Structure 1
Amino acid sequence: MVSLSAQRPGKHRATRPRRGHPRSIRELLEFFRLPARAFYRQRLRTDFNEEDPAEEDDEPFTLDSLETYHLLEDLLRAAEKNGPDRVAERARAQQRGGRYPLAGMAARTAAALLDDITPVLTVWQEIRMEWAAAPQRQAITHAHGRILLEDWLPTLHQNSAGDLAFVQLRASRLLNKESQKPEGDKLAALWLQQLLANAVGLRCDGIVVGRDVLVRAAPPPPGAMAALDDLLDLWQEGLCEPLPVTLKTALVSLQGKNPAPIYDGNDHLPGEVRKNLNLFRDYPDFAALSSARTGLQRRGFAEYAAALYRPFADWLETLEWQAHP
């Protein structure tokens, strides 16, 4: 019998990218989280993950965690746009649109979602009293090596003292159940936004209101520009071939823990490689990931984990957080 790994084709490589095609913050975040997936999507314009949408005639009887997340996210976006007082109206619109379970469960679902979101909105209202949204968004243009990044930063907020901050609402829980510390992958976007703001001369705090806690981040340290340019160098390298590293697995390794279960998964944890065929194609298990050597310097998982994610891991240690009342 031939194993799956034996049937895998050779790893794709591409020539060095030419500057000229502007890259976005979303693409940078995609690379930061999953470099291998970014290579296939951004350089080869392909994705091995195929979604299997549910049949339109299927009626939900219960909500799974992903559906709950999307409904809460929709309610939070309504709160950001129209104010917290309009959230109940949006929940009724969700129910009319058939997004809740059938029959009597719909009313219970709406009540449960509103109960879940009330502490989040209470904290959000307090933050809004201190921080007002700026009328205009900040454009970002940053060129380094063969990477040209052009985009708009998310809306900035300002307090009475003139301080700037990214203020964001999230439908997800931000704390890891075991460590009771913020999950790094859920705050990666904020880290990159702060780095990019720093590149255009803006020192910005970060405030994230999650489903369970309020997280505050101070502006990045003085060496942030070097960290950004190092990241762009690695992105340029990652556009030539899929790098053998991922954000989640690397963070666990940098904490001195065993990263294999995060990547491979087990009976209780769906590993990263099980959820992403772009990873499986080149690195079907952690043994393959950790033994691979890529790039001109022939670096492996440990070297890429340190180069890509050590500044981010250090930043995570500076965060402050508080559970919702």
Structure 2
Amino acid sequence: MRLDVLRQFLRHPVRAFFQQRLQVFFEAPDPDLDEGEPYVRDVLAQWQLRAELLEALRRVPDPADAEPAFRDCLERMRRRGALVAGGLGEAAARALRDSVEAAVDPYRRACEDWPQVSASTLRMESAVPDTHWTFEDTLAGWRRDGQGGWGRIVLLASHLVRGSRYRIAPMMPAWLDHLAAHAHGRSLTTVLVSPQGSVRFEPLDPDRAAGQWQALWAAWREGMRAALPVEIDAAGAWLRAGADPAPGSTARREAEASYARRVEDDLYLRRCYPDFDSLCADGGFFHWARTLYGEASQAIQPYPAAAESGT
């Protein structure tokens, strides 16, 4: 068992039941897309090009060299036809470059906070609770600060903030890595940097991390018996608005509105939970929203902190 099993489950618990347990696929899976983004062809292409630019930033040893890396990346896009020639292409290139501008300074700051790049990997191995399976995986991308503390920096093309609100969905893979490392004995800080919003996860209490790690595997086992009544965007909206399950509460209205948008074009959700009332029957949605995403929601901290950034 590897982290991808839990990543897929947390990203879309209902779909994970169909695909992991039943081996039923209603569409060709694409593990890289952020399903909370409103994808149409042009928007998807822009997201992919933005991801390519950020990957160029990640590969430079010094973020101060971002501009040459961006220019080289944009030129490669032009040569393969991803950007049209002429004035329109130049305008598109400028707009694309501008779309990642807000990620440069937080990424540079994070690299300064954890300046030492480590080529080592963390090997993780443990029993999956109440099964005969063993969890095994490795984590790379490690850095160290001046005091020897561990850190990881994750660059994301998806926006972590929409309006003034954090989005849990694009954070969950990094949160799971953060939790898994703590559950296997390594304390660290994780920084997530995106074109809209940057956050950090601070070191976790070891016992609490171990308990949450066990809870996620227990939830996964339940989710392989039946499709759990939970959806990540609706769960994030509910947690963000105060996690009040009462009918008529702001949190419940926010979750219902979010679910209505998601279920409209999701065959897995429509098959099992065609509306928010069916999702909330017997309180299942509220229980699983807390179990799967509550710890991550509480762990979100702005980066840099307000005092550090002078705001």
TM range (shorter): 0.7 to 0.9
CA 1:149–1:51 in 2, change beyond 3 Å: closer, same or farther? closer
Change (3 A) 1:122 1:309: closer
Amino acid at match of 1:201: G
Computing the radius of gyration over CA atoms, which structure comes out larger, 1 or 2?
1
Cα RMSD over matched residues? 2.5
The match for 1:274 is: 264
Give the aligned partner of residue 43 of structure 1. Answer: 21
Q: Which residue is 1:113 aligned to?
A: 96
C-alpha contact 1:244 1:300 (8 A) present in aligned 2: yes
Q: Calculate the TM-score normalised by the size of structure 1.
A: 0.78
Deviation at 1:184, TM superposition (A): 1.4
Question: Does structure 2 conserve the Cα–Cα contact (< 8 Å) formed by 1:33 and 1:248?
Answer: no
Runs of at least 4 residues off by over 6 Å = none
CA deviations 1:36-72 (Å, max 9, x no partner) are 11111112222213589xxxxxxxxx98332222101
Determine the C-alpha separation between the residues in 2 that align with 1:214 and 1:44: 37
Q: Which moved more, 1:200-209 or 1:303-312?
A: 303-312
Query: Which amino acid letter does the alignment assign opposite residue 160 of structure 1?
Result: G
Report which stretch shifted further, 128-137 or 237-246.
Answer: 128-137
Q: What are the Cα deviations for residues 237-282 of structure 1, in whole angstroms up to 9, with x where unaligned?
A: 1112211111221232332312111111xxxxxx121232111111
Report what 2:303 is aligned to.
321
- Point out the more displaced range, 71-80 or 149-158: 149-158
Alignment check: 8 A CA contact 2:167 2:236 kept: no
Post-superposition Cα deviations, 1:158-200, rounded to whole Å, max 9, x if no partner, equal: 11110111211112221131xx242111211222111100111
User: 2:194 matched to 1:216?
Assistant: no
| Other-structure match for 2:142 | 156
TM-score by length of 2: 0.81
How far 1:100 moved relative to its partner? 2.3
Pick from 153, 163, 166: which aligns with 2:152? 166
CA deviation digits over 1:109-163, x for unaligned, max 9?
1122122323422432333233222112212222222253222224111111101
**Residues 51/228 of structure 1: CA separation in 2 closer, same or farther (3 Å cut):** closer
Match of 1:235 among 204, 217, 220: 220
Distance 1:215 1:40, change over 3 A: same
- Point out where structure 1 has 5 or more consecutive residues left out of the alignment: 1-21, 53-61, 265-270, 294-298
Identical aligned residues as a percent? 26
Deviates most, 186-195 or 148-157: 148-157
Residues 216 and 302 (structure 1), Cα distance of their counterparts in 2 relative to 1, 3 Å cut: closer
* SS of residue in 2 equivalent to 1:275: coil
Aligned equivalent of 1:26: 4
Does the 8 Å CA contact 2:159/2:197 hold for their aligned counterparts?
yes
Deviations 1:191-221 (A, max 9, x none): 2111100111101101111113332221123
More helix by share: 2
CA contact (8 A) 1:47 1:278 kept: no
1:96 and 2:74 matched = no
Q: 1:189 to 1:119 in 2, by over 3 A?
A: same
Distance 1:45 1:51 in 2: 12
User: For the structure 1 residues 315 and 82, does the alpha-carbon distance in structure 2 shift closer, same or farther, using more than 3 Å as the test?
Assistant: closer
Q: 1:67 aligns with which of 45, 51, 65?
A: 45
Which among 233, 237, 251 is matched to residue 252 of structure 1? Answer: 237
In terms of mean alpha carbon deviation, does 103-112 or 76-85 score higher?
A: 76-85
User: Which amino acid letter does the alignment assign opposite residue 77 of structure 2?
Assistant: Q
